[in-house]
Chains A and B, each alone.
Chain A
Amino acid sequence: DSGVTQTPKHLITATGQRVTLRCSPRSGDLSVYWYQQSLDQGLQFLIQYYNGEERAKGNILERFSAQQFPDLHSELNLSSLELGDSALYFCASSLGTSGIEQYFGPGTRLTVT
């Protein structure tokens, strides 16, 4: 158990809908990272937050947004969902900003029908 929690574990929704994925980092970690793992695109880094502020941005679509709250949990919002958004979404956390030692959560499996 990495200490990173993600909810929900599974999510099934229809095209065009909007969902919110939640991540709680390990106790004491200030950085949160979001990743998407899909059959088509493989593993992709989406975005990093550090202590509430966006730190780095990867291949995140404009339909996707994220934020990190004062209690350090993070949410990834996915809107206008398409079939291709079906994927496993991972959250990871680390103590600092460097990202060299990240702890991954178990992931949220999103299925868009």
Chain B
Amino acid sequence: AQTVTQSQPEMSVQEAETVTLSCTYDTSESNYYLFWYKQPPSRQMILVIRQEAYKQQNATENRFSVNFQKAAKSFSLKISDSQLGDTAMYFCAFMKQGTGNQFYFGTGTSLTVIP
């Protein structure tokens, strides 16, 4: 079975600073995707960024980037120039490919951006 671990239940960052959220996962699969989802106080789940396991290049989306270390099974999210709207719960997720799509989520990291 796959597991996703987020070891930082809560984090805070000053506005305009950079913060990194950690995620590790355990799998024996070779074909999979990794995701970061954001859940603001509105509770809406929003996809932040995704990474295909077969790609060595780290994914980036504007101020969001990942550090994907496949051998170490690590997938951290870096948020640059933090904004107040980044305050949210962030979930790391794993999806294996193949017969059916199974999703596994971490327990989340609550990020607060301080003005």
- Residues of chain B within 8 A (CB-CB) of A106 are 42-44
The contact of A99 among B45, B46, B95, B106, by CB within 8 Å, is B95
Which residue of chain B has the shortest Cβ distance to A100 in the bound complex? Answer: B33
User: CA of A32 to CA of B93 in the docked complex: distance in angstroms?
Assistant: 18
Are A104 and B101 CB-contacts (below 8 A) given A42-B107, A99-B95? no
Is A104 in contact with B44, judged by CB distance below 8 angstroms? yes
The answer to whether A43 has its CB under 8 Å from any CB of chain B is yes
Is A107 in contact with B43, judged by CB distance below 8 angstroms? yes
The answer to whether A48 has its CB under 8 Å from any CB of chain B is yes
The contact of B101 among A35, A48, A90, A107, by CB within 8 Å, is A48
The answer to whether B104 has its CB under 8 Å from any CB of chain A is yes
Q: How big is chain B's contact interface, by range?
A: 20 to 34
Q: How many residues of A contact B (CB 8 A)?
A: 24
Are A2 and B44 CB-contacts (below 8 A) given A43-B91, A48-B100, A56-B100? yes
Q: In chain B, residues 88-115, which have Cβ atoms closer than 8 Å to a Cβ of chain A? A: 91, 93, 95, 97, 100-108
Q: In chain B, residues 31-48, which have Cβ atoms closer than 8 Å to a Cβ of chain A? A: 33, 42-47
Proximity bits, B66-107, A CB within 8 Å = 1, else 0: 000000000000000000000000010101010011111111
- Residues of chain A within 8 A (CB-CB) of B43 are 88, 106-107
- Residues of chain B within 8 A (CB-CB) of A35 are 103
The contact of A100 among B44, B91, B95, B104, by CB within 8 Å, is B95
Are A97 and B101 CB-contacts (below 8 A) given A92-B45, A102-B47, A107-B43? yes
Is B45 in contact with A42, judged by CB distance below 8 angstroms? no
User: CA of A57 to CA of B100 in the docked complex: distance in angstroms?
Assistant: 7
- Residues of chain B within 8 A (CB-CB) of A7 are none
The answer to whether A45 has its CB under 8 Å from any CB of chain B is yes
User: CA of A43 to CA of B43 in the docked complex: distance in angstroms?
Assistant: 12
- Residues of chain B within 8 A (CB-CB) of A102 are 47
Question: What 6 A-B pairs have minimum CB-CB distances, sorted nearest first?
Answer: A56-B100, A104-B45, A45-B103, A43-B105, A99-B101, A56-B101
